[in-house]
């Protein structure tokens, strides 16, 4: 994926690139937003600190709302062809007894499933689509080191790569799409608004499991806690083991043999897989589960999207969905700002005003879901949860909840009517000095 990359020559002197918009972070939100802007005639320079877009672990469950956006961009089917797993919905099992069944097949086709899509497949297609557009420059392997300022207005970014290479990107707007630990947000002096909203952390791992597909995202609840399990490509199960918040160091000190035994006791049907494939602690990846809601998402010349603006827990598989919807909501606002030559906070504010309440709503929903699905409790609590789950499964309430989780409270569509070949601003391919 690196052979076509445009980079600033490593001559030891600074390279300078001019663009309408500088996007920091080549994840789903950053690439999707870049593609929307490019197709609207906006010149985009994309900074990505990794090379080859290698990402060891990232969420991969796409809700129908996110699928629709990718379909509007024309990349969903191509990404699926690399390998994906369609899942019929969410299930909760209490001691291996089904108590909750959220069936996505009730939703209108073609977005009537969850999709486990490895992120590398998605990023590959989004990047290929960006490269097919004029006005795109990818600075790969460059880490954001500073923001350019003119008074209080952001006017670009400075990034560095190994070997002393420096790139200066001058842009009308800088968009931070660089994740939960966003350097863009930090350099802009914006507080992340972190809260310890969840009682659990999640340890993730994947196991080869040919012939063991379930066709669902499942939460297996026992007296020992909860395991999240879903199929993933190719022929694997991805498992999330929930632990009390900040208890991982104590658990890890027990060693992999004790951990394997604990997992096997919680999910006996996968005991052989745990024994055969979990060899060391390096096979496990800890996700520190917390929530963030940045105090502001836009400034003069600056915008935050996705996890840079708001971070969520894994319950309900909302992360990628929200990030893609953020990109679709940001696209017309940024296009308007570039065309007007005005990237002030007031001009960018409609994006924040639209999406910030959505993120807050998901935070509230996830806190309830985490306590209901993952929280610990005695026999009485377990019975109450089972009765509530049965009600949701059998009633029309379940259908309403499914639609809300699948598409969100603000089901954003891509403004394809704004796609054209007319230059919107500088429309450069990257001027270098």
Least confident span in 124-133, 176-185, 335-344, 372-381:
372-381
* pLDDT at residue number 115: 96
Q: What is the pTM of this model?
A: 0.88
* pLDDT at residue number 11: 32
Residue 227's φ and ψ, nearest 5 degrees, are: -120, 135
More confident residue, 201 or 8: 201
CA distances from 363 to 94, 194, 283, 403 (A): 25, 12, 30, 17
pLDDT in tens, 373-429: 655 555 545 554 555 555 555 666 667 778 888 888 888 999 999 998 555 544 444
Work out the average pLDDT over 113-125. Answer: 94
Q: What does the alpha-carbon distance between residue 223 and residue 338 come to, in Å, rounded to a whole number?
A: 56
- ∠ CA 357-361-365, nearest 5°, is 170
Share of the chain above pLDDT 70, in %: 85
Work out the average pLDDT over 171-178. Answer: 98
* pLDDT at residue number 3: 32
Share of the chain above pLDDT 90, in %: 66
More confident residue, 74 or 405: 74
Place of tokens 């569509």: 413
Residue 252 corresponds to which tokens in the numbers above? 């890890």
More confident residue, 57 or 94: 94
pLDDT in tens, 234-270: 999 999 998 888 899 999 999 999 999 999 999 999 9
pLDDT score of 143 more than 60: yes
More confident residue, 332 or 1: 332
Residue 268 CA, chain-centre distance (Å), reads 31
pLDDT score of 372 more than 70: no
Q: What does the alpha-carbon distance between residue 79 and residue 81 come to, in Å, rounded to a whole number?
A: 5
* pLDDT at residue number 246: 86
More confident residue, 231 or 1: 231
More confident residue, 338 or 379: 338
pLDDT in tens, 189-209: 999 988 876 778 889 999 999
Average pLDDT, the chain: 86
């Amino acid at each position: 994926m690196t052979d076509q990359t445009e980079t600033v020559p490593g001559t030891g002197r600074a390279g300078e690139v001019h663009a309408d918009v500088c996007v920091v972070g080549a994840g789903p939100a950053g690439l999707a937003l870049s593609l929307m802007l490019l197709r609207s005639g906006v010149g985009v320079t994309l900074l990505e600190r990794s090379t080859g877009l290698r990402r060891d672990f990232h969420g991969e469950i796409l809700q129908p709302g996110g699928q629709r956006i990718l379909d509007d961009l024309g990349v969903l089917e191509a990404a699926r062809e690399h390998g994906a797993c369609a899942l019929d919905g969410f299930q909760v099992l209490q001691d291996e007894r089904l108590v909750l069944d959220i069936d996505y097949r009730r939703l209108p086709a073609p977005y009537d499933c969850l999709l486990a899509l490895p992120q590398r497949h998605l990023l590959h297609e989004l990047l290929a689509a960006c490269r097919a557009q004029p006005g795109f420059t990818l600075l790969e392997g460059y880490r954001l080191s500073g923001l350019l300022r003119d008074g209080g207005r952001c006017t670009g970014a400075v990034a560095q790569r190994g070997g002393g290479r420096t790139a200066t990107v001058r842009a009308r707007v800088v968009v931070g799409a660089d994740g939960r630990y966003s350097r863009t947000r930090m350099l802009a002096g914006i507080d992340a608004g972190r809260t310890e909203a969840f009682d659990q952390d999640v340890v993730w791992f994947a196991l080869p499991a040919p012939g063991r597909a379930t066709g669902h995202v499942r939460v297996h609840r026992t007296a020992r806690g909860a395991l999240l399990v879903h199929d993933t490509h190719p022929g694997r199960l991805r498992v999330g083991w929930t632990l009390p918040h900040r208890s991982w160091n104590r658990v890890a000190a027990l060693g992999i043999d004790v951990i394997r035994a604990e997992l096997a006791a919680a999910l006996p049907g996968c005991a052989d897989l745990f024994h055969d494939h979990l060899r060391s602690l390096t096979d496990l990846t800890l996700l520190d589960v917390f929530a963030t809601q940045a105090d502001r998402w836009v400034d003069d010349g600056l915008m935050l999207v996705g996890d840079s603006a708001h971070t969520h827990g894994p319950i309900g598989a909302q992360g990628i969905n929200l990030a893609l919807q953020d990109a679709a909501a940001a696209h017309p606002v940024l296009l308007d700002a570039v065309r007007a030559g005005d990237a002030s906070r007031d001009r960018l504010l409609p994006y924040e005003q639209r999406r910030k309440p959505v993120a807050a709503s998901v935070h509230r929903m996830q806190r309830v879901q985490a306590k209901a699905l993952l929280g610990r409790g005695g026999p009485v609590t377990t019975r109450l949860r089972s009765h509530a789950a049965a009600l949701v499964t059998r009633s029309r309430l379940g259908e309403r909840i499914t639609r809300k989780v699948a598409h969100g409270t603000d089901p954003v569509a891509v403004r394809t009517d704004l796609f054209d070949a007319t230059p919107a601003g500088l429309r450069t391919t990257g001027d270098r000095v």
